[in-house]
Structure 1
Amino acid sequence: MNIKLKLTVLSFLQFFVWGAWLITIGVYWFGTKQWGGEEFGRVFSTLGIASIVMPALTGIIADRWINAERLYGFLHICYGIVLLFLPTITNPDDFFWVMLVAMAFYMPTISLSNSIAYYILKNNNYDVVKVFPPIRVWGTVGFIVAMWITNLSGNKDTGTQFYIAAAIAFVLGIFSFTLPKCPPQNQIPKDASISEKLGLNAFSLFKDYKMALFFLFSMFLGAALQLTNMYGDTFLSDFGKIPEYAESFVVKRSTIIMSLSQVSETLFILAIPFFLKRYGIKKVMLISMIAWVLRFAFFAYGDPQGFGLGLIILSCVVYGMAFDFFNISGSLFVETTTNYKIRSSAQGLFMMMTNGFGAIMGSLVSGWLIQQYFTLENGDKMWQEIWLVFAAYALVITVLFGFMFKHKHDPEAIAEVSH
């Protein structure tokens, strides 16, 4: 198996073992287990908690002591082992702690998989900018395939979704040991301060008003992403409680409908260079925020038939723009506005604010809000009101960002990074 094919398999499996349960866990939680929304918010916050602590820690280990591909394989095998326990748990508190351990093993593998791919491609004289994106797209394909398998096998509301993820995690863990060696690079001097070792010197960026504002809005947008992951599939499945929709494709194959969001994501990646060159980073990020407003608003008025079905599909289409345009243009903003000495740490800070603090905020606040104000006595959710509140949240962020964030379009800086 050649190097590019191996890395393609790596990318595919990396996101397969996440997609097998991430979108469908809400159906299992609320439908099968009938546990509460506030506890569900706590469980989803484990993604954020793990994203704050573990990527930096495993990065240091890979830089100094252990081959990255071996550490990566070890983490996935441990992740698979922990997943096996989830279907056996009978109360939400225990589920939280076990999921936290699972995420502590999984979340650092996302950045570690990128590091492994970069190292192997560079070491074999490939053009990373040209070769890596087509490889990374297969990660999204893996996520989609996992969602489809979970749904088509009839397991979107069962604990088997975790067994599916665990089985493939074991395969990925073993497969990673066949990759070319990625030895420690020892890029951090032995006499470096604790701050430098942990990348904490990047926090000095918060002294700059524009960067501080950017990171703050990154956190707010990270929270919006969690809302989609947490409640999208549960929302569609709940239409099954309405007799006229109970046998509809949207209810029976809700995960496949949700996977259109990931299909859209792969397509909008291709449009980003055009939008960035024509409109600039700030406008592209604003387009992303407007897309989040539409994502939630279309869900609010969607249903499984006719015009309502069209709105649900449109919601999935605009998700690709909402997700890609902020994450990729945001990463480019960091790349073009920070000192090269702390650029990697700054990228890590960007991810920490979105996938870490943003994820925690979105999970906990939404879980509490829905449980307190938008859950009926029989446990049903007031979905239209929920999505409209989320849309209003995204709209406020959009307006504030448009007025507060000042950034001049620099086509030359974008062209320089793209090459």
Structure 2
Amino acid sequence: MRIKARLTVMNFLQFFIWGSWLISLGSYMGGVLGFSGIQIGSVFTTMGIASLFMPGLLGIVADRWLNAERVLGISHIVAALFLIYASTLTDFPSFYIAILLHSFFYMPTIALNNAVSYALLERNNSNIVKEFPPIRVMGTVGFVVAMWVIDFCGWTQSPYQLYVSAGAGIFLGIYSFTMPAVVPAHNPEKKSFASALGLDAFVLFRRKKMAVFFVFAMLLGAALQITNAFGGPFLDDFKTTHPNSFAVQRPNILLSISQISETLFILSIPFFLNRFGIKRIMLFSMLAWVLRFGFFALGDPDERFWLLLLSMIVYGMAFDFFNISGSLFVEKEAEPTIRSSAQGLFMIMCNGVGAIIGGLASGWVVDHFTVNGVKDWQSIWFTFATYALLLTIIFPIAFREKK
């Protein structure tokens, strides 16, 4: 019981760090630092760039040379120091580099956190499939709590959000060093760097079904970055027309409903996946993205506030039905010898290449519909909704699943 409690704290802090700034940083960059849409989108691509190779690189360090909990602790502390540095910067090139360096060390901690959790639960003779999900859900709770803290303190457009994240990161870094040791496995068949990056799994592209799946995984990964980068700036722009509305006064609270919805939809995945299969589940996800963006386009903080709420609710389906179900699909389709590499490839396509494309493309779209500093948000969101709709139309034609 003690190790489960310790892992719960670790997972809570892991995502508290991210939730402190991920959703609100766009508002800070646009409203305070004066960055353009393409600059904001570029900053969010840093997580995708880091996800291409850093998890594999630090994973090899933890597999071969240094205890996983120590790699986790060092990574969190270094990432936190780069956030503190970023909080002092106001020019785009320096700020971009600081967040990029932060991402190099934070993004691998997500996989390292899972690795440490799995190892300690297994050592504790726990059923990982049964025991880990409740522990991991506390990570989402930590993400939501962080958003609420930043919102209630009035720091959605303040560098203090970075200080909160950095403080939690340093604390978790130190806390990680107190966890039971997860020593490198003495395995004569050491995993290569290419294998850690998921490159072994590129053989899956020889199968048309899997090639199509990974391409659409990349395209849906791009959709995720859009609301991460511009959900906050969108609500912030209502301050001129609805200054006293809940959406303007408490933007992070409203946006956090998306994460709350995410935790609920996770529970429905087994039912939907068994009943409808991966193809329909992916279609549900794409339709949910259409609704997510469409509700944003039509909603406002006054008479149509309910549309903003619906947008937050459908996010759970849009994210979970793609990310979680997609991971399970890859696990089922990949041969046992390349399953780890296949999961790595799935993450590269979604959180790496997809995130880079989404960050850059969404920034370009926002700038395209910005005239004299005024953003045409309805056209912006309808453009994104059209993108998701095209994916919804093309996917069932391109992806063939055996009955």
Q: Name 2:323's counterpart in structure 1.
A: 327
| Alpha-carbon distance in structure 1 between the residues aligned to 2:263 and 2:85 | 33
Is this contact kept in 2: 1:188–1:197, CA < 8 A? no
| Alpha-carbon distance in structure 1 between the residues aligned to 2:194 and 2:164 | 40
DSSP 3-state at the match of 2:374? coil
Q: Name 1:269's counterpart in structure 2.
A: 266
Q: Name 1:241's counterpart in structure 2.
A: 240
Distance 1:196 1:20, change over 3 A: closer
Q: Name 1:170's counterpart in structure 2.
A: 170
Q: Name 2:397's counterpart in structure 1.
A: 403
State how 1:306-321 maps to structure 2 within 5 Å: 306=303, 308-321=304-317
| Alpha-carbon distance in structure 1 between the residues aligned to 2:335 and 2:296 | 41
Is this contact kept in 2: 1:60–1:198, CA < 8 A? no
| Structure 1 counterpart of 2:374, from 375, 380, 400 | 380
Which one-letter code corresponds to 1:158 in the other structure?
S
Q: CA deviation at 1:239?
A: 0.4
| Alpha-carbon distance in structure 2 between the residues aligned to 1:48 and 1:31 | 24
1:138 aligned onto 2:135: no
DSSP 3-state at the match of 1:17? helix
Q: Name 1:51's counterpart in structure 2.
A: 51
| Structure 2 counterpart of 1:301, from 280, 289, 298 | 298
Deviations 1:223-270 (A, max 9, x none): 00000101111111110021xx11111100011000000000001111
Is this contact kept in 2: 1:152–1:253, CA < 8 A? yes
Q: Name 2:282's counterpart in structure 1.
A: 285
Q: CA deviation at 1:104?
A: 0.2
Q: CA deviation at 1:285?
A: 1.2
Which one-letter code corresponds to 2:122 in the other structure?
K
Q: CA deviation at 1:369?
A: 2.4
| Alpha-carbon distance in structure 2 between the residues aligned to 1:33 and 1:250 | 22
Q: CA deviation at 1:187?
A: 3.8
DSSP 3-state at the match of 1:291? helix
DSSP 3-state at the match of 1:88? coil
Q: CA deviation at 1:278?
A: 1.1
| Alpha-carbon distance in structure 2 between the residues aligned to 1:13 and 1:22 | 14
Deviations 1:349-399 (A, max 9, x none): 00010000000000011112221x21111x121100000000000000111
Q: Name 2:229's counterpart in structure 1.
A: 230
Which one-letter code corresponds to 2:323 in the other structure?
N
Is this contact kept in 2: 1:218–1:353, CA < 8 A? yes
Q: Name 2:335's counterpart in structure 1.
A: 339
Alignment size in residue pairs: 403
| Alpha-carbon distance in structure 2 between the residues aligned to 1:76 and 1:195 | 25
Q: Name 1:118's counterpart in structure 2.
A: 118
| Alpha-carbon distance in structure 2 between the residues aligned to 1:265 and 1:193 | 34
Is this contact kept in 2: 1:301–1:384, CA < 8 A? yes
Q: Name 1:21's counterpart in structure 2.
A: 21
Q: CA deviation at 1:407?
A: 1.1
| Alpha-carbon distance in structure 1 between the residues aligned to 2:217 and 2:188 | 28
Q: CA deviation at 1:195?
A: 3.9
DSSP 3-state at the match of 2:21? coil
Q: Name 2:69's counterpart in structure 1.
A: 69
Deviations 1:309-363 (A, max 9, x none): 0000000000000000111110111011110000001001000100000000000
| Alpha-carbon distance in structure 2 between the residues aligned to 1:79 and 1:273 | 36
1:152 aligned onto 2:159: no
DSSP 3-state at the match of 1:330? helix
Q: Name 1:100's counterpart in structure 2.
A: 100
Q: CA deviation at 1:2?
A: 0.5
Distance 1:193 1:136, change over 3 A: closer
| Alpha-carbon distance in structure 2 between the residues aligned to 1:197 and 1:105 | 16
Q: CA deviation at 1:163?
A: 0.3
Q: CA deviation at 1:188?
A: 6.2
Q: CA deviation at 1:85?
A: 0.9
| Alpha-carbon distance in structure 2 between the residues aligned to 1:17 and 1:98 | 16
Q: CA deviation at 1:199?
A: 4.1
Q: CA deviation at 1:186?
A: 3.9
Give TM-score, length-normalised by structure 2. 0.98
Deviations 1:137-184 (A, max 9, x none): 000000000001011001000111000000010110011111111111
Is this contact kept in 2: 1:64–1:185, CA < 8 A? yes
Give TM-score, length-normalised by structure 1. 0.94
| Alpha-carbon distance in structure 2 between the residues aligned to 1:349 and 1:87 | 33
Residue identity over aligned pairs, in percent, reads 54
| Alpha-carbon distance in structure 2 between the residues aligned to 1:276 and 1:187 | 35
Q: CA deviation at 1:205?
A: 1.4
Is this contact kept in 2: 1:215–1:353, CA < 8 A? yes
Which one-letter code corresponds to 2:274 in the other structure?
K
| Structure 1 counterpart of 2:357, from 341, 344, 361 | 361
Q: CA deviation at 1:197?
A: 5.9
Which one-letter code corresponds to 1:320 in the other structure?
G
1:393 aligned onto 2:387: yes
Unaligned runs of 5+ in 2: none
